Amino acid sequence: MWSRLVSYLLTGIKRYKTFPLDAIIDAIKGPTLLFIIPSIWYGIGAVGGFTVRQLFLYTAASHLIILLPLYVSFPVANMIRSGFLQNLFTKPINLSAYLFLRNLGGTFVSLISSLLTFIAIYLIYGGTNIHLYLLGVTLTIIFYLLLGQIIGYLATWFYTIWGFQSLLVYLPSLLLGGSLIPLDLLPGWLVNIASYLPWKSLHYEVAMTVLGRTPNFLSLLGWIVLLVLLERVTFRLASERWESWGG
């Protein structure tokens, strides 16, 4: 089993062999952004009561979540169109593990460089609750893997899934999750909307754990249960369509 999991990871890492310049860019990009973003916030005075220490800790924690290999919908869609996914299910394989590790390999250098930067910032500025942060990150990975698979399955019926990806992943995580800007800096009405949706729990509350805040992961667990059920239903409907294709 372990050799199979390692092979999934190596499949993604091979991207750097094909495009070696990507490894250099990925190694520089993450740490650079972790210092530039809070510096800009502090420079323009948009700190919302955050100290410099808190800005750097929050940025490092939230940015690391963004870099996780969460966005698996396009690989799923491509595998459906090529017939690879249908053939994959004839093998003893866990789709979520395959997608996560393959994408992890594809972002490996960027993730490692940002992880090392996060550890340095966490130690220098005295972050807390690392166990809660890791638990939150784990739940976030599970949520986005399920959501990504559901969106990817939609390629069975739609020519493009870009709109679904933007509407359900990119825009909510940036505007309602606090992954780019802490929710404390946003208008109150937007924060109220975010409170009823999962992205606040996925990004803002997880990142705030390193500043000492205790999160409520119950709502996030509820969303995950809902996605598990929805993924099963969507997969069953999609697989019935694949059978009609002869896949």
More confident residue, 114 or 204: 204
Token digits for 64?
């690391």
Cα 38 from Cα 46, distance rounded (Å): 10
Q: What is the pLDDT of residues 155-207, one digit of tens each?
A: 889 888 888 888 888 888 878 888 777 787 778 888 888 888 898 888 889 99
Q: What percent of the chain has pLDDT over 90?
A: 11
More confident residue, 236 or 85: 236
Cα 96 from Cα 232, distance rounded (Å): 13
Token digits for 30?
């993450």
Q: Quick check: 230 pLDDT over 90?
A: yes
Query: By the 8 A CB rule, do 179 and 173 touch?
Result: yes
- DSSP 8-class letter at 215: P
Q: Quick check: 144 pLDDT over 80?
A: yes
Query: By the 8 A CB rule, do 179 and 66 touch?
Result: yes
More confident residue, 70 or 119: 119
Cα 87 from Cα 67, distance rounded (Å): 29
Q: What is the pLDDT of residues 54-65, one digit of tens each?
A: 888 888 888 778
Nearest to 10 by CA among 98, 110, 115, 138: 98
